[in-house]
Amino acid sequence: MKLETLTGWRRRLRAREISSRELTELYLGRIARLDAQLNSFITVTDELALAAADAADERLGRGEETPLLGLPVAQKDIFCTEGVRTSCGSRMLDPFVAPYDATVVARMKAAGAVMLGKTNMDEFAMGSSNETSFYGPVCNPWDPDRVPGGSSGGSAAAVAARLVPAATGTDTGGSIRQPAAFCGITGLKPTYGRVSRYGMIAFASSLDQGGPMAATAEDCALMLNAMAGFDPRDSTSVERRAEDFSADLERDLKGLRIGLPREFFGEGLDPEMRAAIETALAVLKDRGAILVDINLPNSGLSVPAYYVVAPAECSSNLARYDGVRFGHRCADPLDLQDLYTRSRAEGFGAEVKRRIMIGTYVLSAGYYDAYYLKAQKVRRLIADDFRRAFTEVDVIAGPTTPELPFRLGEKSADPVKMYLSDIYTIAVNLAGLPGLSMPAGTIGNLPVGLQLIGNYFDEARLLNVAHQFQQDTDWHARMPAAFV
């Protein structure tokens, strides 16, 4: 059977050409046969999925209409899911079964989605390669010797290999967009506050944001319609009127001003990557867009600023995992100090420990002003650069990553080199803006991602630009040969 996009399956379900149970069985079968090559799932929820599919078929039979009714999806294992293990890719939470649904999960259930399982991820979303997971690394479906990106690498790999039509991800410094680029799919990081963080296990609370990952911009719009909205249980959720992110997908791009930051096309960008991005930008120009050179002078400070702010917030958020209330608990502790020390030492991996230690240091007495406060001031300068840019242009574009997917283990011993793989994505999180990565070419057999950055709450514009690009290209429709 031909594999469709999420939107394509939606049409076929409504035409009664296929049932939700048949569709669910199709993808569960692909996961069972093919995921051993990728390790993209931590938990597969076969029985729950089939029960949800049968319920969806009953609703479809009654003529009900909800955005995702009967459609299979996967949830990143950072979203609490009632009655299902929610591990965050860590030994610390390996036995944890969530007693409630995250708002994103609840909204997608209400929209009729059928959850196939929970996808693998970097531990507590800390990583750019999906190699820090307690459950082992995820492999890139285009080349199993390479990383899929992180931290949402499990979701990206599963969608790219068509083990699931769409999945959720989270983005703290590029963790939706970078794996989307490495795996050749479309991924959207919404404006901070657009999607509820309630029930999404926190890494860095002022940066984390959930979003959709799918083959196409059209599918991401469909997903975002179900995910977005105000949530009174999340104090960072923004109250805005409901919006149909699919409504403007067909708008033409004539006169659209696309800013190209000089800082994104300079030293550090692979020459072949640059050529591929420029070829992709020419497609948008042919559609009527106007390309404008702009400056984001403080963007070069985004990596050092991020790696002060994010570890500081992670240090605070992860303090609760102490072996007492929940999470991993060491065996036979001698006293309370031993309980804390061994539980955390055994439960957390090396990258999480590294960031906790950095964060604790920059928040400590005598160093708060020198590091954390200064990083927050730099964060404001970065946001101001974007504000000025958006008085001149409608959208900003550039590469999602400076290089192609790297080999498993290639950067594991050099954390700084690993951190630099997010150099083009981190500024977007510091400013709280929406960003999207879409497949825009290949070099050899490996995907190239084009990043689009929008003004606050301008996700519909990003999806429109991406959709128009995908009308003239087929990069989003290509599949890794081993999974066709």
Please identify which of the residues 151, 299, 343, 421 carries the catalytic annotation. 151
Distance CA 192, CA 200 (A): 14
Peptide bond into 206 cis (omega under 30): no
Q: Three-state DSSP class for 465?
A: helix
What is the residue extent of each domain of the chain?
6-256, 303-308+320-374
Radius of gyration from C-alpha coordinates of the chain: 21
CA neighbor of 263 nearest in space, from 384, 378, 380, 398: 398
User: Does the active-site annotation cover 76?
Assistant: yes
Q: What is the pLDDT of residue 122?
A: 98
Please identify which of the residues 175, 237, 299, 315 carries the catalytic annotation. 175
CA neighbor of 130 nearest in space, from 145, 151, 146, 155: 151
Distance CA 223, CA 6 (A): 9
Cβ–Cβ < 8 Å for 252, 287: yes
Angle at alpha carbon of residue 400, lines to 77 and 193, rounded to 5°: 50
Q: Cβ neighbours of residue 366 under 8 Å, at least 6 residues apart?
A: none
From the candidate CATH numbers 3.40.720.10, 3.40.50.300, 3.90.1300.10, 3.20.20.70, the one assigned to the domain spanning 6-256:
3.90.1300.10
Q: What is the pLDDT of residue 429?
A: 98
Query: For strand 114-119 and strand 72-76, is the pairing parallel, antiparallel, or unpaired?
Result: parallel
Distance CA 301, CA 122 (A): 24
Q: What is the pLDDT of residue 167?
A: 98
pLDDT in tens, the chain (484 residues): 789 999 999 999 999 999 999 999 999 999 999 999 999 999 999 999 999 999 999 999 999 999 999 999 999 999 999 999 999 999 999 999 999 999 999 999 999 999 999 999 999 999 999 999 999 999 999 999 999 999 999 999 999 999 999 999 999 999 999 999 999 999 999 999 999 999 999 999 999 999 999 999 999 999 999 999 999 999 999 999 989 999 999 999 999 999 999 999 988 899 999 999 999 999 999 999 999 999 999 999 999 999 999 999 999 999 999 999 888 999 999 999 999 999 999 999 999 999 999 999 999 988 888 899 999 999 999 999 999 999 999 999 999 999 999 999 999 888 888 988 899 999 999 999 999 999 999 999 999 999 999 999 999 999 999 999 999 999 999 999 999 9
Matching residue, tokens 């990206």: 156
User: Does the active-site annotation cover 175?
Assistant: yes
Q: What is the pLDDT of residue 168?
A: 98
Matching residue, tokens 């909204």: 107
Q: CA–CA distance from 52 to each of 5, 19, 220 (Å)?
A: 20, 12, 22
Distance CA 440, CA 161 (A): 17
- Amino acid symbol at 285: K
Please identify which of the residues 19, 20, 40, 76 carries the catalytic annotation. 76
Give the containing element (helix H, strand E) for 219.
helix 217-227
User: Does the active-site annotation cover 151?
Assistant: yes
Cβ–Cβ < 8 Å for 156, 437: no
The dihedral built from the CA positions of residue 80, 86, 90 and 91, taken in this order, carries a sign that is: positive
The pair of three-digit structure tokens given for residue 26, joined into one six-digit string: 């199709």
Q: Cβ neighbours of residue 349 under 8 Å, at least 6 residues apart?
A: 90, 91, 123, 132, 134
CA neighbor of 139 nearest in space, from 110, 115, 161: 161
Q: What is the pLDDT of residue 413?
A: 87
Distance CA 439, CA 441 (A): 6
- Amino acid symbol at 197: R
Q: What is the pLDDT of residue 425?
A: 98
